[in-house]
Structure 1
C-alpha cells in the first residue's frame, strides 16, 4: 500500500497585537517586533491556492495551534490566514465550551479574533507564510526523500521479527516419541505413562521400534531470512548514502529535470538550500515590517 506523506513545514511571520498610535521607541521597549513562528507538517491542516492577478498564490491557510483556557488547560485553536480583496487577515477559530469530551468534539467553531496585520496603516498584499519541503519551496504534497528508506526499514523489521520468533520457537527443547501407544479415558484424557525430561531420567520403552529425538530446524532453516536481512541492510545503506551523494548532472527530460532540479547537489543539500532560501525571504519580510533597511546576509 502506497503511503502519501505530507513532507511540508513552514514559517509564518507575525507580530504581537499592540495598541494603536504607539511610537517606535515604545514598541521597541515593549519588544513588539516581528517574529517567525514555525509550523510542522501535522499543524498544517489545509490550504487553498488561487490566481491573484497574474500569479498563482496562497489565499487560504489553516494552521492548528494550542492556547491556555481560563483553567490553564491546553486547547486547540485554528488560525486561518486568508487573503481576500487585496487584504491579508488572520481569523482565530475556537470551539464553544461544553461539558464532557463528546460535547467538546461536536462543539461549534466560532471566530474568536479577527486580526488585520498592518504596516504604517496599510495591510499586506500577501500571506507571509513560507513553506519548505524537499528540494522545492512548495506547499504541495510530495513524497519525503526518506520514504523508500522507510519502506525497506519496515520490511527489514518484519524479517527480523520472523527470524527472532523462529529462533525462539525452534530453540526450545521439543522431544518427540514414535511407536508409543497411548490409552485415553472416556473424557479423552491420556492415561498412558508420563515421561519426565531432564538429567538422571531414563525412558524405557517396550516397543523396540520406538524412536525418540528432538525436533529442530536444520542448518539451512533460516538461511533465507538471514540473506534477506543482509540484502536489505545493504539496500538501506545505499539509499541513505544516496541522500548525501551528488546527483548526476546529465541530460534529462523536462519533467525529470524539474523534479531533480538543475546542477549537482544531494537531496540533503538541496533541501538545506530550500530552507535557507525560505528563511531569508521570511527574514526580509520581517525586516521590512520592522522598517529595517538592508539585505539579509547569507551567513
Structure 2
C-alpha cells in the first residue's frame, strides 16, 4: 500500500514557525490557547491552584498584535493599486471566478500574497473538473462543455506535505507533489458534517502527468491522467510554487517569523509587568502586639479593616505598619526594547515616525522590507501567470503568452512630483525629447494624474473643454511652438 501521507523532514522542521506566525496574525485569543508561548512560572507544580494562577496570568498579559497589523499594512501596500491583468477570451471567466468558488483572480492573488508573507511558501494547482457523463453518453454536449472549465486552486504551505524534484534531460523537474485536503462529509440530516483527510498526489510518470486521490476508505487511490484540449497528456505537473525568495520547491524562510518571535517575547514581558503590578501594587498590613491570639480575636471580631473609621486594639506594645513594593522598571524597559526591535523589523504600527521625517527618509528606512515585499509580489505574479498558461492548455490547447498579462503592483509608496519636477518634465516634452504619452506616464507615476486615467479619457475631456490659447507665436494651438500633436 502506498505511503501517501508521508511527510518530508523539511516540512516538519518549518511547521512550528508557520504556526507561530499564523497564530500571531490571528490575534490574542488564538495565542492564549497555547501554553508554549507563555511559560508557566512553576511548571513542575501542577496543582489546581497553580494552574488557575497561570490562567489568570495569561488573561492579564497583553498581546500587542504587531504581526497581524504589519501583515495588513504590507498587503495594503501591494494592493493599493489594482493588478495589471490581461487575459485571452478563453479564460477571461477567471477574472471573476478563479477557483470555482466565486473568488476573483485578484482575491486569489491576495490570498497567495498573504500566505507568502506568513510562511514564505504556497502553491497553485490548475485542474479541470471530471465530468460525469450520463449512462449511455460517450461525448460531452455543447452545454456540458461550456460549463466545464479549468480553475486555479490555492494551497497553503501546511497543505503541501511532500514533494520531489528530479533532473530530467539536464533540467530539474517537479515529479511529485502531495497535497493534504480536508473533506467535509455531511450527515444524513444535512445539518452536521464530519471532516475527513484526503491526500491528492500529483506525479510525473514517464513524462506524463497523472493524479491520484487517497483516503482511509480508499488507500490505493483513484488515478486519472488529465489531458489538454487537444487530448494530449501534460508533460509537466500543473502545480506552481511561489516563495519569499524564489519559486522553486525548496522552503523559504517566512518574512514575518522574526517579527513573530519578538512579538511573543514582548508578550512574555507584558505578562511579567502585569503580574508584578497585580501582586505588588496591593499594600500589605503588618502588625505586632502582645495580646494573646484568642484575646485578639475577641477584641477584633471582624479582623483588621484597612481604611475603615473604626479603631483597633493592639495592646500596650502593639504597632502597625503598611508595606507596598516599589515599582520596578526592568520588565517595562524590556518591553520598550522589544517594541524598538519590532519597529526595526518592519512593525510600523508600534511607533509613528517623527513629524520632521521626510517621505524619502521613510522610503530609505524601509527599503529592505520593500525589497522583500517586491520579491514576494513578483514571485506570486509569476506563479499566477504560469497557472493561467496551464488553464489555457486545458481550455484551448495553445498558450497566448503575449496576450496573458498578470502583474501585481510594486509601487508601495506615492512618489509625488513637486512643481520643479513637473516643470522639468514639461520642458522635456516641449524640446521634443519625450513624447506626450511619456509625459503622461511620468505624471501618473508622480501622482499628478490618476493612475487609472487613460490617455483616451484625458483627450475626451479636453475635447469638451473650451479652447486653450497657446503662445503668442502660435495662438491657434495649445501645443508648444514647433511641436506637432501626436
**TM-score normalised by length of structure 2:** 0.49
Match of 1:38 among 144, 154, 167: 154
- 1:48-89 superposed Cα distances (whole Å, 9 cap, x missing partner): 222222122221111112334474634221111111111111
CA RMSD of aligned residues (A): 3.0
Structure 1: runs of 5+ lacking an equivalent: 97-108, 248-263
- 1:171-229 superposed Cα distances (whole Å, 9 cap, x missing partner): 2232112x4357579xxxx9786542141132332354x542222121xx321111111
Match of 1:213 among 298, 318, 321: 321
1:280 aligns with 2:388: no
Contact 2:208 2:235 in 1 (8 A): yes
Aligned counterparts of 1:183 and 1:42: Cα–Cα separation in 2: 69
Partner of residue 224, structure 1 = 330
Q: CA deviation at 1:278?
A: 0.7
Match of 2:164 among 36, 48, 72: 48
Q: CA deviation at 1:157?
A: 0.5
Contact 2:284 2:322 in 1 (8 A): yes
Contact 1:66 1:76 in 2 (8 A): yes
Match of 2:344 among 198, 222, 238: 238
Partner of residue 127, structure 2 = 14
Q: Secondary structure at the match of 1:111?
A: coil
Aligned counterparts of 2:292 and 2:387: Cα–Cα separation in 1: 84
Match of 1:57 among 163, 169, 173: 173
Partner of residue 167, structure 1 = 277
Contact 1:183 1:192 in 2 (8 A): no
CA spacing shift, 1:123–1:217, aligned 2, 3 Å: same
Q: CA deviation at 1:26?
A: 4.4
Partner of residue 85, structure 1 = 206
Partner of residue 95, structure 1 = 216
Equivalent residue pairs, number: 261
- 1:141-195 superposed Cα distances (whole Å, 9 cap, x missing partner): 2321111111110010111111111111122232112x4357579xxxx978654
Higher normalized helix content (fraction of residues)? 2
Q: Secondary structure at the match of 1:110?
A: coil
Contact 2:291 2:315 in 1 (8 A): no
Q: CA deviation at 1:27?
A: 4.9
**TM-score normalised by length of structure 1:** 0.76
CA spacing shift, 1:193–1:141, aligned 2, 3 Å: farther
Higher normalized strand content (fraction of residues)? 1
